Amino acid sequence: MNTANNMNKKTVQKGLLPYLFIIIIMLGIFYFAGVMNNKVNVLTYNEFVDKLEKGKIKELEVTARGSAYTYEVRGSLEGYKKNETFFAKLPLSEQVMKKIVKASDNEEFKLTAKADPESSSFLAIVVNVLPFLIIIGIAFFFFSRQMAGNKSSLDFGKSKAKLNSDGKKKTFKDVAGLKEEKEEVAELIDFLKKPKKFQKLGARIPKGVLLVGPPGTGKTLLAKAVAGEANVPFYFISGSDFVELFVGVGASRVRDMFKQAKRNAPCLIFIDEIDAVGRQRGTGLGGGHDEREQTLNQLLTEMDGFGENEGIIIIAATNRPDVLDPALLRPGRFDRQVTVSLPDVKGREEILKVHAKNKKFADGLTLKHLAKRTPGFSGADLENLLNEAALLAVRRNKEVITMSEIDEATDRVLMGPAKTSHKYSDNDRKLVAYHEAGHAVIGLKLARANDVQKVTIIPRGAAGGYNMMVPSEEKLCSTKSDLLEEVTGLLGGRTAEEITFGEITTGAHNDFEKATKIVRSMVTEYGMSDLGPLQFEQQEGSVFLGRDYNKSQHFSNEVANEIDMEMRKIINSCHDKATEIIKKNKDLLKLIAETLLEYETLTKEQIDYLVEHGKMPEEDGDNYESMSITKLKEIAKEKRIKNYSKMTKAEILKELDK
């Protein structure tokens, strides 16, 4: 609040400055206009004496100028106008002063005597020295402002690496999961603590360790934990901080960074997103970026420049190791790579425990169960999931986080917020319901298919509804049967539309995209077709195009035709299988679809109960979210909510929360 007030005051002051400047100019104009209107008549000594003797003087002011040996007299004469005065210089003598005093006594005009201003030492200093001080002060003010504005230019070549000196050191206790990764970097801690133990046997500790993995998996946290465990200075910098417009600046910053590190050895340097500066040299349509390449060359030289046991270890992180320069990865530089993968179910549970320390959960909600529901989530995703759930609980005025908030938060992380204000026709809702029910039926009836965790017809993102399915168990690799059943599950939505309505829609667009990608990989990369165990395509491309824009193809046009035929054969067989399952389970399809139209969202527990008993479990009178839309409309009617009959379930829930 104080900051906002200060900003407002500064804004008001800046707004008043132009008006103040205009007022000063206007006052100056009026002053000089008045001065210009004044008429001053200059009299000689004889003319002044003549007027004095004739008694023409009405008012007189005398100033003695000792340094000039003169009197300066000013005044007015009879017959002068209001703004008319005279001025005269008289000899500095006693005789002249006697004449003036005598005339004043006789004529009784007003006589004023002023001291010589030059006789005052203080005034002389003010008049002679003050202007120079003002000029010097103004010059110093503008010079200091210019220096403050260009302060960074003086440190242009200095390293931007920051020393982590906030006192909040991370340790391995703060890093959940990553058991193998922590073991891999543990010897770095021993070296930083006890380097002599390694020197005795002539062992060479890696100068650089490259942490590779998807975003949000904890690469930066792991590097901080290494420095915290070793209790050594931790310098951190981003790869983009080295690269500037001017050639040579980045190289200068690299030199300065290593200079600081050598003064504070043993220490650890962490370079985040090293691919910003470490990309392959000599690539690109128009040649390389000279500044970036010079920076990389300096980094390579510096890493070779310090000895094996100087106590400096560099840890870098990237999620694009494929674009790094080979010279950066050779032995003696970043000669060790540690892959930081997405956590498994046990790792996710440990990560959730770390982020759940200050949160309150409802009875029966276990982190182990939540970890099983979130395959493919990174550590950052899990932290965001719990935070979103906590925010939702606060908005709903709840004391604890329930499974309802967890489900909604999961949907938000994966698909974005629900579009509750979008109005869909009854026909569209029915189409979406049967489409999603088709996916659910395939998932329930295929042994190798993923478990159905949630089905909803509430639109999120670009999807009109979605079916959340997770693997029954996490696998290192997939079999051909696994992939075929996954493709069959993706085709379940379109198949349900065809069987139920005899019509197809554009709703299966994303399903086809995923299915086609899986089938093409089966044929061209995994060797899972009648073409045999051959790899016809592989992911690669030019570095300057990002590597993923094209694939190298090693086959003829005839083989390309055979690939298309194999893909079509696999897709058609999966579609036939999906059709067979849907036709055999029409009643289950209708039951799930009609229930979706009534409840809009079904969880795994509700789906299992529905399949087993043919109906939904009894509704909890206190949990509005688990109720059907028919029941909610009855409650809305009792509470006299206006236009409840035209509201969606989400809109009724919002009104009931009020």
Residue with tokens 């009931």: 656
208-212 and 312-318 strand pairing: parallel
Cross-strand bridge partners of residue 452: 469
Beta bridge partners of 469: 452
User: Are 317 and 220 contacting, i.e. CB atoms less than 8 angstroms apart?
Assistant: yes
Strands of 39-43's sheet in order across: 39-43, 84-91, 70-77, 57-65, 110-114
- Residue 110: CB partners within 8 Å, gap ≥ 6? 58, 59, 60
Parallel, antiparallel, or unpaired: how do β-strands 312-318 and 162-163 relate?
unpaired
Contact of 624 with 635, CB cutoff 8 Å: yes
Token reading at 535: 């790899």
At position 218, the amino acid (one-letter code) is G
Give the pairing type, strands 537-539 and 551-553: antiparallel
Asked if 158 and 253 touch (Cβ cutoff 8 Å), the reply is yes
Q: Which of 384, 497, 504, 409 is nearest to 460 (CA)?
A: 409
What is the distance between the alpha carbons of residues 22 and 25, in angstroms, rounded to a whole number?
5
- In this structure, what token pair is assigned to residue 540? 């690669």
Is the distance from CB of 539 to CB of 547 less than 8 angstroms?
A: yes
How many residues are recorded in the chain?
A: 658
Record the tokens describing residue 207, joined without a space.
């100068």
Q: CA 347 to CA 375: how far, in whole Å?
A: 11
Please report, for residues 72, 98, 329, the alpha-carbon distance to residue 106 in angstroms, rounded to integers and kept in the order given. 22, 12, 111
Cross-strand bridge partners of residue 463:
460
Known catalytic residues are: 436
- CA separation for the pair 59, 77 (Å, rounded): 7
Distance of CA 616 to the CA centre of its chain: 44
Residue pair 74/23 in contact by the 8 Å Cβ criterion: no
